[in-house]
Amino acid sequence: MKVKYRIWKYELLVNDTQSVDMPVNAEILSVDSQRGTLFLWAMVDADGMKEKRVFEVIGTGNPVPQGMGTERRFIGTVLMGPFAWHVFERTGGIR
């Protein structure tokens, strides 16, 4: 029996905005830190075509980017040492 779905993890940089190549329709499960690195976990169709998805990592107290194409969906908050990082996915407009 061939397995269609898998759980994959993606490293996120502690950086304002970044794109990640993921299989189309990947379902974001969570974000957290592992050994001091920020990761995002998603359930994916491992054989699916890829698409770019855009994520924002915003520290507490830092400005939130505004303007055209900044519709976003909150994924989660990750505490790493003295910092709290808030992860969002851009959901509409320009990616």
* Residue pLDDT, tens place only, 70-88: 789 999 999 999 999 999 9
Tell me which long-range contacts 70-79 makes (C-beta under 8 A, separation of at least 24).
75/28, 75/30, 75/31, 75/40, 76/30, 76/31, 76/32, 78/31, 78/32, 78/33, 78/38, 79/33
3-class DSSP assignment, residue 74: strand
Which regions of the chain are under pLDDT 50? 94-95
Q: What is the pLDDT of residue 95?
A: 44
Report which secondary-structure segment, H or E, holds 1: none
CB contact set of 63 (below 8 Å; sequence gap of 6+):
none
